Structure 1
Amino acid sequence: MTAEPDPAAASPRNGVRGPIALMVAAAALMWASSRLTWYTVSSSDGLTEPRTDHLTGSVWFGALTPLALVLLAAVAAVLATRGWPRRLIGVLVALIAAVTAVPAFALFTGSGDLPGRAMALAELPARAGYTDGFTSPLGPALSLVAALAAFAAGVLLARMPRESAQLSGKYDNPVTRREAATEQVENQRTADKPDGGLSERVLWDALDAGADPTDDSPKPGAQATDSPGGKAG
């Protein structure tokens, strides 16, 4: 008997592939963004040569790399949970996306004191004066794309139907899976239905648990009902 994949178990696995792919992509984009220059500031203190500092994403937004690592951890959490905990992870992922988008959005819109922030992050001496500064768009743009991908993943997880939020058979606890298979075999036997109604995956799990799906003998203590009046002959 060749074991075939259980369609019911394969469906939940397919349901989380999209959000997982989006979270992995978002984490990769966030890491790449953290390595790129977000803002370039030029300064002069009147005593030394003018100075130019290139502030990367990890400097401008220090939480960028840690948030990327949190997204990767969320991938593992999605695979290890089911039901409402998985949907809660979706909400948290959406919040991470919102936090990721704020610094880049502020940079593009010029919100806040950008020169003052740049001078502080560049750790310039107090006597230094701001002379020029400009935004390098690629780094913040990648951060915004990452935020959109993470937000989409969070929404998909948060809105995942209950029946689609179950673990795939690949990640089920083997003991739980065998117990469920044994119960299904017993239900089939009680209903006097052929074993063909069970998937081969279930049959294999039942055999692993010590239950023989082909055994039609009554359970110990069961009463025979062949004689008149329903009494044992």
Structure 2
Amino acid sequence: MVRTLLLLVAAAALWGSSRMTWVHLTSSDGKTLERTTALDGSTWAAAMTPLALAMLAAVAASFAVRGWAVRVVGVLVALVAVAVAGPPVQLLVSGASADRAAELAELSGHPEELAADYSLLPPLLALLGAVAAFVAAAQLVRAPSSRGGLSSKYDSPAVRREAASKLGQGEIAGEDGPVTQRMLWDALDAGEDPTVDGPGDGNGESTPRS
């Protein structure tokens, strides 16, 4: 599915971004040579790694749930996308704060000069992940009720027998999707005749389907 691919792209983009260097901090105490400290995404934007894992969890959830629960997953993915977009947008708009970089780098001593600059690729990669996650969220929210969840082949025997009983009574799944060959065989195994409409026509006989 497209939404699954988008979630995987988002997870990969966030994970890769968290491993790249976002900010370079240059410090000097006036006595020794300048020192450059690299801050990667997991340090500058600590939420990148857990949010990447959240994208992978969303992939599993999108297959495991059905109906309105798929839309709930979509809303949660959209919130994650917003959270992902925050740090890179702030960095690209406001630049890297030398004081914040020094705090995250935990520099020893009291450097007299601080300068910070950022790399362009890591925040852009994180934004790509945010966009992919948001598009996937939109598809999850708009998914029809009959979509989502695991295939019926993973249903338990009890669930399949119940569906077969409904089929034999003429309750063809409108909400659960079209009748499949497996559903017909399950109906026969359950002692139901899927070729009749269930309740009789008043004479104790079942009416064949047209």
Report the TM-score, using the length of structure 2 for normalisation: 0.82
Equivalent residue of 1:162, what SS? coil
Decide which of 187, 193, 199 is 1:206's aligned counterpart.
187
Q: Distance in 1 between matches of 2:62 and 2:122?
A: 28
2:40 corresponds in structure 1 to 56
Q: 1:110: Cα distance to partner?
A: 1.4
Runs of 4+ residues deviating >6 angstroms: none
Instruction: Report Cα offsets for 1:98-131 as digits up to 9, x if no partner.
Output: 00011000111116x7111111111112411344
Describe how 1:148-187 pairs up with structure 2 within 5 A: 148-165=131-148, 167-187=150-170
Q: Distance in 2 between matches of 1:130 and 1:148?
A: 37
Change in CA separation of 1:198 and 1:150 when aligned onto 2, cut-off 3 Å: closer
1:141 corresponds in structure 2 to 124
| Residues 1:38 and 2:22 are matched in the alignment | yes
Change in CA separation of 1:206 and 1:110 when aligned onto 2, cut-off 3 Å: same
**Which runs of 5 or more structure 2 residues have no equivalent in the other structure?**
172-177, 206-210
Report the TM-score, using the length of structure 1 for normalisation: 0.74
1:19 corresponds in structure 2 to 3
Q: CA RMSD in A?
A: 2.8
Higher strand share: 2
| Residues 1:86 and 2:70 are matched in the alignment | yes
State whether residues 119 and 130 of structure 1, in contact with CA within 8 Å, keep that contact through their aligned partners in structure 2: no
Q: Considering only CA atoms, is the larger Rg found in Structure 1 or Structure 2?
A: 1
Worse-matched range after superposition: 67-76 or 157-166: 157-166
Decide which of 47, 51, 55 is 1:67's aligned counterpart.
51
Decide which of 116, 122, 130 is 2:105's aligned counterpart.
122
How many correspondences in the alignment?
196
Equivalent residue of 1:164, what SS? coil
Change in CA separation of 1:215 and 1:170 when aligned onto 2, cut-off 3 Å: closer
- Higher relative CO (CA 8 A, sep ≥ 6), structure 1 or 2? 1
